Structure 1
Amino acid sequence: MFSPILVPEAAAIAGWLIALALFVIVEAATVNLVSIWFAVGALAGLITSLFTNNLLYQLLVFALVSAAALAVTKPLVARMRSRKPAAVLGLERNIGRRAVVVQPVRPGVPGRVRLDGVDWTAVCDTALEEGGECVVTAVESTTLRVEPANQPAAAKV
């Protein structure tokens, strides 16, 4: 059987606070989930240190809680990441809507169209003259892909 490794309460609390802070800093410095599970485990270790000065118990709680947090959240994160990305600023709602050309659009040369009083960069495979109407067929970042209004709008993809 293991003999208990006893640490002073203040030292244990300080150690767990430092570990917790380091895990949180590492997590904040990265874009991916890297150490959040260990931060949760360190918090559990900190709480355990308030009840016992046995370092082995504290480390065991840290390991078990970290593993449980990882096991619970990893599938949730994977499911969230596999979802279709959200619409860019909700601009996809403009697909199928009519706009007015305010700066001529040429194939390969972007122009400008006005939709709901807002000017947008627009691209088209055919020439569009100023004052003409067009229909939004797609949104590519913050650029509207359009076609002349007298042609049927492309189906949403």
Structure 2
Amino acid sequence: MDTWHIWVILALILVIVEIFTSGFVIICFAVGAAAAAVASCLSSGIQGQILWFSVATFLAFIAVRPLLLRSFNKGKSGRKSGIEALEGREAIVTERISYMENSGRVAIDGDDWKAVADDKNEIIEKGQKVIVTGVDSVILKVRTK
């Protein structure tokens, strides 16, 4: 078996492993192995093949990986999940919201949340509709609708 066969097999194995991992790290090594296979076909010695492998892997980390990460994560940065997804939602006050009394709860979709008013001087009575304007840990910041 020629050396370039080994490099090609290594590159294919690394591509397959990359399919089951995330982060596009292993694919950079696969690019290096493919470059070493080309070097082997060009009758380069083992030192030259290792040099090609190293340089191509390094360049893949610098150039290819950021492009892959950017395209793979496109559109995900704007999505909110968990408690952050409640921002902008309407809620019903289930317990009077008062900063001075350190009290207040709201309900959203049947879930009960501790809440504080955006305006610390504002008192929001039970039954009023409010809008969630922010989240601080597990406490919702709200304002009257």
Distance 1:48 1:77, change over 3 A: closer
Amino acid corresponding to residue 57 of structure 1 in structure 2: G
1:61 counterpart = 2:57? no
DSSP-derived class of the 2:94 partner: strand
2:115–2:139 contact (8 Å) kept in structure 1: yes
User: Which residue of 2 is the match for residue 120 of structure 1?
Assistant: 113
2:36–2:50 contact (8 Å) kept in structure 1: no
Taking structure 2 as the reference length, what is the TM-score of the superposition?
A: 0.53
Distance 1:77 1:145, change over 3 A: farther
Q: Offset of 1:93 from its aligned partner?
A: 6.3
User: Which residue of 2 is the match for residue 134 of structure 1?
Assistant: 130
Distance 1:143 1:100, change over 3 A: same
Q: Deviations over 1:119-140 (max 9, x none)?
A: 2232212222333322222344
Q: Please identify which structure carries the higher strand content.
A: 2
1:92–1:138 contact (8 Å) kept in structure 2: no
Q: Offset of 1:110 from its aligned partner?
A: 5.4
Q: Offset of 1:65 from its aligned partner?
A: 1.5
Amino acid corresponding to residue 105 of structure 1 in structure 2: I
DSSP-derived class of the 1:121 partner: strand
CA distance in 1, matches of 2:104, 2:66: 45
Q: Offset of 1:99 from its aligned partner?
A: 1.3
Identity %: 27
User: Which residue of 1 is the match for residue 93 of structure 2?
Assistant: 101
Distance 1:104 1:77, change over 3 A: farther
Q: Offset of 1:85 from its aligned partner?
A: 4.6
Q: Offset of 1:94 from its aligned partner?
A: 4.1
Q: Deviations over 1:73-125 (max 9, x none)?
A: 365379689x9953431745641x43111233221735321122222232212
1:41–1:61 contact (8 Å) kept in structure 2: no
CA distance in 1, matches of 2:97, 2:141: 11
| Structure 1 vs Structure 2 CA RMSD | 4.7
Q: How many residues align?
A: 128
Taking structure 1 as the reference length, what is the TM-score of the superposition?
A: 0.50
Q: Which runs of 5+ in 2 are unaligned?
A: none
Distance 1:40 1:123, change over 3 A: farther
CA distance in 1, matches of 2:137, 2:124: 21
Distance 1:141 1:39, change over 3 A: farther
